[in-house]
Amino acid sequence: MYNLLGIELKSPIIIGSGPLSYNAQAIKKLFDAGAGAVVTKTIRREKAINPAPHMALTTNNSLINNEKWTDVNPETWINREIPKLKDMGVVTIVSIGHTLEESSELVEKIEKAGANIIELVSYDYKDLIPMVKDTKKRVDIPVIVKLPPRIDDIGNFSRKLEKAGADAITACDSVGPAFRINIETGKPLLGGNGFGWLSGEVIKPIILHKIYEIKKKVNIPIIGLGGCMTGADAVEMIMAGANFIGICTAPILKGENIINKIYRDCLAHLERLGYESIDEALGIVQKNLGKSNERTKFQFVYHEDKCTGCKLCEKVCGYGARKLKDTMEFDEDECRYCGLCISICPTKALKAIELENSYEETL
Ligand SMILES: Cc1cc2nc3c(=O)[nH]c(=O)nc-3n(C[C@H](O)[C@H](O)[C@H](O)COP(=O)(O)O)c2cc1C
Ligand code: SF4
Ligand code: SF4
C-alpha cells in the first residue's frame, strides 16, 4: 500500500484530470483498472462547452487539445457524482478551478459531498497562493496544488505554496500554447481559436525538469504528471523526485489496461536496478549530477559484432569524425564528444565506457 496524505492507495499511479474522468462511472472504471486514485475533470462554477474538434494526435504518443473543464454542472458533481464515488469506495481527488471566487464557493460543498482530496488548478498561476490559503481555511481534507509548467522559478514558487498550506504538488499541467495546422485545408487541427496544449510523450523531458526543480525546494509529496507512457518513464519521474506517478494521455491512447502495466513495469525496473522501494530511488538524480561542463571527453567502445552497418552514426556526425568503412574509423581531432552517435545507434554497438547503460532503457 502507498500513503498519499494519510489516505491508503493500492497503487502509486494516479489518473490526472482529463476526459476519462468525466463522471463517477468512468472514474470507477479507472479505479477498478488499478489506479490508486483518480482526479476528476476540473469543476468550475459553469459547465464547459468545448469546441469541435478539441483533441488530436500530434507526434507519436502525444496529444494536442483545447478541451476546457468539465461539461457537467457543479451541482450534479456535488449532489450525485461525488457521493456515488464515496459509496463505491473510490479514492477521489476533486479538481477545482480556476479562480479564487470559484474555489471559495465550491470547496466546502465538495468536501461535504465526500471528496478525499481537493486539487486546485488555475490558468494563472498567481491565483494559486490565494486559492490554497482560502481553501485550507475552509476544509479539513488535504489540498493539492496543480502547477502549469510555465512558471519561471517553479522551485521557489512551490516552496511558497508549501508555506501557504499546500499539502502536495502536482507537476504539471499540459504544455503550451501549441498549434498544429492541416496543410490540405490551411485550418488548425483543433476547433475554436485552434490553440491547444500538449500532453504525452513529447512533454516528458520538460516535466522531468520541473519535478527536479520542485523536489529541490519542497518537503511535501510530488505527483509527477506529464509524458509518462511506460514503466521506465515512471522510474525516470521517481528519480527526478516524484513520489506518485500521474498519467492522463497514456490511458486515453492505450486504454485502461496501461495503468497496471505501467505500475508492474515500474516495479520490475526498480527491482532490476536494485531499489527495494520507490523511496529508495526518489530524487536519486540529485546525487548524480556533474558540475556543469565538467566532462570534455569520453572513451568510445565499438562492438563490431553488434553493428548492422546502418551508418546512422556516420550520418549524424556533423564534424565528419566517424566513417564506417571496413571497420569504424574515428577522427579524434575532429570529434567534439557531443555523444549523438552513441545515442542514435539502434543496436548499442557504439558506447562510451563512462556512459555505459545511460541510454539503455530511457530511449
Ligand atoms: C484532453 C485533455 C483534457 C484535460 N483536461 C484537464 C482538466 O480539465 N483539468 C486539468 O487540471 N488538467 C487537464 N488535462 C491535463 C492533464 O491532467 C495532464 O496534466 C496533462 O495531460 C499531462 O499529463 P499526460 O502527459 O500524462 O497526459 C487534460 C489533458 C488532456 C489531454
Ligand atoms: S549506428 Fe550503430 S549499428 Fe549503425 S553503423 Fe553506427 S555503430 Fe553500426
Ligand atoms: S561524439 Fe559527436 S562529434 Fe564525436 S563522432 Fe560522435 S557524433 Fe561525431
pLDDT in tens, 38-57: 999 999 999 999 999 999 99
Q: How far is the CA of 16 from the centre of ligand 1 (A)?
A: 6
What pLDDT score was predicted for residue 363? 37
From CA 332, how far away is CA 319, in angstroms rounded?
A: 11
Low pLDDT (below 50) residues in the chain: 357-363
What pLDDT score was predicted for residue 73? 97
172 cis-preceded (ω within 30 degrees of 0)? yes
Amino acid letter, residue 154: I
Cβ-contact 265, 237 below 8 angstroms: no
CA 252 to ligand 1: nearest atom: 31
Q: Which tens digit of pLDDT belongs to each residue from 188-242?
A: 999 999 999 999 999 999 999 999 999 999 999 999 999 999 999 999 999 999 9
From CA 130, how far away is CA 319, in angstroms rounded?
A: 53
On the CB side of 16, CA atoms within 13 Å amount to 28
Residue nearest to atom 2 of ligand 3 (CA): 338
Q: How far is the CA of 279 from the centre of ligand 2 (A)?
A: 38
From CA 217, how far away is CA 315, in angstroms rounded?
A: 42
Question: What are the DSSP calls for 283-322, one per residue?
Answer: TGGGGGPPPTT------EEE-GGG-----HHHHH-TT--E
What pLDDT score was predicted for residue 295? 66
Assess whether the C-beta atom of 313 lies below 6 angstroms from ligand 2: yes
Which domains can be identified in the chain, with CATH numbers?
Answer: 2-288 (3.20.20.70), 300-355 (3.30.70.20)
Assess whether the C-beta atom of 312 lies below 6 angstroms from ligand 2: yes
Cβ-contact 13, 245 below 8 angstroms: yes
Question: What are the DSSP calls for 90-144, one per residue?
Answer: --EEEEE-S-HHHHHHHHHHHHHHT-SEEEE--SSGGGHHHHHHHHHHH-SS-EE
Sorted by sequence, the CB contacts under 8 Å of residue 214 that are 6+ apart come out as 147, 154, 155, 158, 169, 171, 222, 241
CA 69 to ligand 1: nearest atom: 8
From CA 129, how far away is CA 249, in angstroms rounded?
A: 28
Mutate to test the pocket of ligand 1, among 14, 117, 174 (most ligand atoms within 8 A of CB): 174
Q: How far is the CA of 248 from the centre of ligand 1 (A)?
A: 6
Residue nearest to atom 6 of ligand 3 (CA): 341
What DSSP element (H or E) covers 342? helix 340-344
**Residue 271 corresponds to which cell in the numbers above?**
527491482
